[in-house]
Amino acid sequence: MGVAKAAVAKGSKVKVFFSWKGTLLAKTPEFKELCGIAEVSICADSYKKMGFDPEKDIPEGLTDKQMSTQAQHGQIVADYDCYMTL
């Protein structure tokens, strides 16, 4: 959250892509707040592997279109000059 907030405060456009165990963060109270300040998407396959249903259990703050694939992750890497992977 701190990195995203700082980037937005500096005028940067922020996209966040959650994959594998990172999808578990969609169940935290801060997730909806992040969706309000950044463009967020989740790897639906990873979300499913973590035990959630990507069609019936869409995290609050997202739409079904934001339940995505690793192709979107690749597009972010291709489109942005800077990116950070955690």
pLDDT in tens, 67-76: 999 999 999 8
pLDDT at 53: 98
pLDDT at 50: 97
DSSP 31-79: HHHHHHHSEEEEEHHHHHHTT--TTT-PPTT--GGGEE-HHHHHHHHHH
The separation between the first and the last C-alpha atoms of the chain, rounded to the nearest angstrom, is: 13
Specify the DSSP element, H or E, that contains 9: helix 2-9
pLDDT in tens, 31-85: 999 999 999 999 999 999 999 999 999 999 999 999 999 999 999 889 988 888 7
How far does CA 2 lie from the centroid of its chain?
A: 15
Q: Is the pLDDT of residue 86 over 90?
A: no
Q: Where are the domains of the chain?
A: 2-79
β-sheet bridge partners, residue 18? 42
Look at the pTM and tell me if it is higher than 0.85.
Answer: yes
